[in-house]
Amino acid sequence: MPCCNHPERAAIVECVNCARGICAECVPEDPQHACSAACHTETALLNWRLIGLPSAIFY
Ligand SMILES: [Zn+2]
Ligand SMILES: [Zn+2]
């Protein structure tokens, strides 16, 4: 699977939100591997809902 930003490179992980590939250079310093800020936010929101933090935090 190629990296979503570098088609010529092999991905080492896939985005936890959209399952696109992420190469070593693009992988964020985060346990939740997300290909973009949008995916990262979506994933974080989902996780926070799952563990029951108050939604008021986001507004
Ligand atoms: Zn993604
Ligand atoms: Zn890349």
- Over residues 3-59, the pLDDT tens digits come to 999 999 999 999 988 999 999 998 877 667 888 889 888 888 887 777 765 555 554
Q: What burial letters (b/e) apply to 16-50, b meaning 16+ CB within 10 Å? A: bbeebbbbeebbeeeeebbbbeebbeebeeeeeee
Q: What is the CA(58)–ligand 2 centre distance, in A? A: 30
Q: What is the CA(1)–ligand 2 centre distance, in A? A: 11
Residue 2: which of 17, 29, 33, 24 has the closest Cα?
A: 24
pTM summary value: 0.69
Residue 1: which of 16, 36, 14 has the closest Cα?
A: 14
Tell me, what's the pLDDT at 23? 93
Tell me, what's the pLDDT at 2? 95
